[in-house]
Amino acid sequence: MAAFSPSPSGDGSPGSNLCMTVYEVRIEVLTPIAVSAVKPEHPIHLDALLLRLKAQRLGISDYTGDNPKIEIPLEETGRAKKFYRASAMFIDRTNAKMVRDAWVTSTSWLDCINGRFVKIEKKIYLGAGPYRQKAGYVRLICTPEVRFYFAGDPHEVADLLEDLKHTGLGIRTTVGYGQVGDIVISRAPADYTLIGPDGYPSRVIPAKEVEKPDPKWMKAVRAYRPPYWWGEEVLCYLPPRHQYLPVLSPAELIAKLNNA
């Protein structure tokens, strides 16, 4: 089960100051995490994971638009634009790499069943639709573990994350990518729920909620609450690629160029 180690300042009992404590989630990754190679990059956010897991547990398939809001055990922040104090995914870049993997969809199984079990009278159109034949590739993040940081109820978060062992991280988990092992939650060494250790945003943050942004922060129009493929989109500051991908940070790239 997902393990929670109580911090000295919060024992998990009612009335304890859990919400004032920041927690770190460490998830053991057993197989590479697959991410899209064609869609805009969007790192895995803890709030999105918890929302999906809670919806699945409640048997809700549509949690967008006018459907009932699903509560997740995270603390909210922000003035005009409310968002969660929960980071996107962190990886240890020294122990990670990224590779590509090809995939193919085929309708050859139709030839096997045609005439044996059923008689297909009409020609199956293979250019589009559910029987489209296609090929492509995904990017695979090979890392032994991922980390998240959050402020909220660690017991409820641990309980929801236990369901992650039956689904996984990233895309194409049904074919074995993104499988997870041990999940451990403990008190975080520092608050990285919004800003990471190198001063970059650790999650998507609405630009209007930041009083003094750093000029080096990346900006783009994004959703700031899960589900990120549906929510309101505004100008946001984004977590850096080197937080969730095994690539050089801007400072490391500049140093490398200067030493070339």
Q: Mean per-residue pLDDT for 213-226? A: 95
What digits encode the pLDDT tens for the residues 40-54? 788 999 999 999 999
Q: Mean per-residue pLDDT for 86-107? A: 88
Q: Mean per-residue pLDDT for 76-97? A: 95
What's the CA gap between 254 and 256, in Å, rounded? 5
Query: Which residue range forms the structural domain that includes residue 58?
Result: 3-258
Copy the structure tokens of residue 102. 């090809």
pTM of this structure: 0.84
**Domains held by the chain: number:** 1
Kindly tell me if the per-residue pLDDT of 187 is higher than 90.
yes
CA torsion sign, 130 to 169 to 66 to 82? negative
In terms of residues, how long is the chain? 260
DSSP label of 45: B
Percent helix, strand and coil across the chain, each to the nearest 5: 20, 30, 50
Q: Mean per-residue pLDDT for 205-221? A: 95
Q: Mean per-residue pLDDT for 164-191? A: 94
Copy the structure tokens of residue 247. 């690539």
- Band of pLDDT at residue 123, cut at 50, 70 and 90: low
